[in-house]
Chains A and B, each alone.
Chain A
Amino acid sequence: MNTLAITRHHVTVTFWHIIPWVAPLFFLGLFFFYPLGKILSLGLTPTILFEADYAELASKTLFFTFSQAILSVLLTLFVGLPAAYLFARYKFIGKSILRALTAVPFMLPTVVVAAGFNALLGPRGWINLGLMGAFRLELPPITFVHTLGAILLAHVFYNTTIVIRIVGNTLIHLDPRLEQAARCLGADTRRTFWHISMPLLFPSILAAGLLVFLFDFTSFGVILLLGGPTFATLEVEIYIQALQMLNLPAAAVLSMIQLGCTLVFSVMYSRMAKKATVQFGQHPAGMNVRGARTKSERLFTGSMVTLLVTLFLSPMLALPVRSISRLEAARGERTTIQAGLTGEYYQELFMNRRGSLFYVPPIRAAYNSLKYAGITIILSLLLGFPAASALAHPGRLERLFDPLLIMPLGASAVTMGLGFIVAFNRPPLNLLTSPWLIPLAHTLVALPFVIRSLQPALAAIPERYREAAALLGASALRTWLAVDWPIVRRATLAAATFAFTVSLGEFGATSLLVRPEYPTIPIAIYRFLSQPGGLNYGQAMAMATLLMVSSTLGILLIERLRLPGAGEF
């Protein structure tokens, strides 16, 4: 380690510099770039590209993808901007709890969110059942699931936190004296906002909007589960074409369009994000935060807090409560409804009924998920550690390879699943039936997060500590144990939790690659939700609750372990 330290000060690319990159790059090359290349070669044949049917399908899908994303962004800004202002400028009871609450949805698996909204607003959900009971209705009065409204609401639920963080960050650092200076110069409230506040906030609003757009554009689980059969974005259409129509070339073309659009928007976003972070007049944060004083201020804070709590808490509460409530006729009893608490949905998970959706008790899905998650953790740490430590002390090589590591984030999970199908369906790489397939896909999705978690910790170890230890006589191993490990331990736990949470909730790639007899938890939930019957519904709720609890715990643990200063987006 001693000689390594000295070598690093010279800008020579040695053997030791290349070694950390071998494993991650090999992994990426084989499991990301190669499948991607296969997709491109499949879709780029002239006959397919200019096929009229494909063109019509592609343009229709693209149009819908765009429109729902834009609508979602507008709604998210509508909720998120006042929320950002609320958090940036006011103090109130429960502020930090509410803030954490708005951030949890972002990393929740889509199936959990879908199940939560279903439990609240679906045909068997609380509101419908409540209205049916109160007004003695035959049919559920509110149609929510399988409408555009469901998609938009779920998107708002997911992405409001992005607006709150990005715009809120700028707001906090905005010198309030700028507005005061404008007032002294004769500008009233409206003109101060228009000439001073708005132009200074605009870059961050645009950056937040672009990022939310990117997420809504590539949305898959929400569209599939809450939108239903009538709505299809590019992602969903890829899935349908690949899995149901068995039309791989069409799926490939759509994939390419998806990739192209995502690339363009990602570039636009990073440009905007740079502009947004050029902090003019850097002002210490939190200097302008105070309690609501005037009546209109109290009205604003009160209604915003109520709105946010309702929006973020109700689906997540509806889910677990629904999973233990029997509100409809039990199996076999069509007439008597015994409303009450029950654990039967959870008990059903452990039973293997004849003719069930699975060949094994549903709880086996949990076992599979945990197995896959474990492998994902090990693989992503094995690959992520060398990459992160190389990135922590970047040299010429690192600048070349860093963008490559981020690319999997930009490609959608469904595209990666498609790539696996297309690339690994023949010998010598006939992996489609291998149990390793899904963990490999999960590792691909989790790897950027793992690297991003490890990198700040590894970069935070000053070279001097190592040199000091060496001077005092410590061997390389002892130095590592005494200096590196304590610092890295926390980040490793965070990275592992990331990998675990991502793998547990992964739905996009898994939906394309899963084998029927080895389901994962999200797949199980999806299947249960798609089937009629109160028992199926209840089991979906039960599994989703389990997944929600473990994901939430994972998210909270990650938040607590994160190094202060580790980047947001």
Chain B
Amino acid sequence: MLEVINIHKKYEGAPLLRGISFTVTSGETVCLLGASGSGKSTLLRIIAGLEHPEAGQIRWNGEDLSTIPTYKRNFGLVFQDYVLFPHLRVDENIAFGLRMQGLDRAEIRNRLHIALEQVNLSGFEQRRVTELSGGEQQRVALARALAPRPRLLMFDEPIGALDRTLRDHLMVELRSILQNTGVPSIYVTHDQEEASAISDRILLLCDGEIIRSGSPAEVHAEPGSAWAANFLGLGNVLQGKVVEAGWIETRVGRLQVNCIHDHREGESIPVLIRPRGALAGDGKNSIRSVVVDIIYHQDDFRITLDNGLFFYLEEAPRIGQTIDIRIQSSALQCLA
């Protein structure tokens, strides 16, 4: 079990990580989700021992790792753009960690075979890594990290450089591999779809701190802050003021929000309006506005209104048309 305890790290004088703490247990895949430059990669490198924090500790099964150098930690790391050894073939790349462990040749051949099968690259042993496609290189990188049977696996935005279909395909493969091996993993990305697809638990990283932790479903249901709702692309985020119990005044009107929290009157809180499930027509929680843009989106139409909000409707109105939209109460929530 990995414990990350209160890690602090500065980058060029400014604080980057401000007290990061979390744990990863066996069989768990934890995802660090945050914007580019938020320090996710740095955190991985600190856990791997490639960089040192200014404060805080990394512990594995209770043992403090600060005196243990990288090459003794047996933590696998799959890099962004793969970082395969260009002067070695596929089999030599994958076998590198096994050679370092001092395994005998028969065992190395055996593990090599297993690793290649795991990533669907059997038969690629003799190929030069510079001749492989992006997806193949990524799978070699994965096999190379898996072969030495690391105690912990870390992924630094591993599939960011690939196209959509390949990404979806690899995510499925990756998930099944991780579940089969049961090795604890930390997956770092800025793409919330990847995060939801692959992880058991999402950690949202914002401004150097973890502001939300939970399963993908939990985090989507209760993002916990305006920033999280925006980053996850959950819908329209507005600032509103509590006028009386259950009613919030926003710039698009007065909305009735069923809120589980206690709010004082006059308190300013952010509100999330999810774009799906809205109906045409007026009534409670309805908004009247002019349509400024319509985009066809899979099976629905994404309507943008001139008050800045967007919704998905089954039928498309005309641009310039004034429409009433009634928001379902299930689509409204406060974010504080």
A interface residues (Cβ-Cβ under 8 A, vs B): 175, 177-178, 180-188, 191-192, 195-196, 199-200, 280-281
How long is the Cα–Cα vector from A281 to B79 in the complex, in angstroms? 13
Taking the complex as formed, is B96 at the interface, i.e. its CB lies under 8 A from any CB of chain A? yes
Q: A280 to B131: give the CA distance in the assembly, Å.
A: 12
Q: What chain B residues lie within 8 Å of A182 (beta carbons)?
A: 85, 96
B residues 69-113 near A (Cβ < 8 Å) are 69-77, 79, 83, 85-87, 96-97, 100-101
Give the docked Cα–Cα distance between A194 and B87 (Å).
13
Rounded to whole angstroms, the CA-CA distance of A188 and B101 in the bound complex is 11
| Cα separation A200 to B75 with both chains bound (whole Å) | 25
Complex alpha-carbon distance, A178 and B71, angstroms: 13
Q: How far is the CB of A182 from chain B (nearest CB, A)?
A: 7
**15 CB-based A-B contacts, threshold 8 Å:** A177-B79, A177-B83, A178-B83, A180-B48, A180-B77, A181-B85, A183-B50, A184-B71, A184-B76, A184-B145, A185-B76, A186-B74, A191-B100, A200-B87, A280-B130
Question: Which of A183, A185, A196, A280 lies at the interface centre, i.e. has the most chain B CB atoms within 10 A of its CB?
Answer: A185
Residues of B in contact with A (beta carbons under 8 Å apart): 45, 48-50, 69-77, 79, 83, 85-87, 96-97, 100-101, 130, 144-145, 148
Q: Which residue of A lies closest to B96 (CB)?
A: A185
**A175 vs B72: C-alpha distance when bound (angstroms):** 22
The answer to whether B75 touches A184 (Cβ under 8 A) is: yes
Bound Cα distance A178, B85 (Å):
7
Docked pose: A280 CA to B87 CA in angstroms:
8
Q: Which residue of A lies closest to B95 (CB)?
A: A185
Minimum Cβ distance to chain B for residue A52 (Å) = 49
| Residue pair B86, A185 in contact (C-beta under 8 Å) | no
Q: How far apart are the CA atoms of A188 and B49 in the complex, in Å?
A: 13
A560 and B35 CA atoms in complex are apart in Å by: 42
A199 to chain B, nearest CB (A): 5
Pick the contact of B85 from A183, A184, A196 — CB < 8 Å? A196
Cα(A186)–Cα(B96), bound, Å: 9
Nearest Cβ distance between residue A280 and chain B, in whole angstroms?
3
A175-B83, A280-B86, A281-B86 known; A186 vs B101 contact (CB < 8 Å): yes
User: With A and B bound together, what is the CA distance between A180 and B85 in angstroms?
Assistant: 11
Closest to A281 in B: B86
| Contact yes or no, A184 B100, CB < 8 A | no
Find chain B residues with CB under 8 A from A178 CB. Answer: 83, 85
| Given A180-B45, A280-B130, 19 further pairs, Cβ under 8 A | A175-B83, A178-B83, A180-B83, A181-B77, A181-B83, A183-B49, A183-B70, A184-B48, A184-B75, A184-B76, A186-B97, A186-B101, A186-B148, A188-B69, A196-B85, A199-B87, A200-B86, A200-B87, A280-B86
Complex: how many Å from CA A175 to CA B142?
A: 19
Which chain A residues lie closer than 8 Å to B130 at the CB level?
Answer: 280
Interchain nearest-CB distance for A185 vs B (Å): 4
Asked if A180 and B50 sit within 8 Å, CB to CB, the answer is: yes
A188 is contacted by which of B45, B71, B77, B145 (Cβ under 8 Å)? B71
| Residues in chain B near residue A181, CB distance under 8 A | 77, 79, 83, 85
Q: How far is the CB of A468 from chain B (nearest CB, A)?
A: 39
Centre residue among B76, B77, B85 by max chain A CB count within 10 A: B85
Min CB distance A291 to B, Å, is: 12
A371 to B70, CA, bound (A): 66
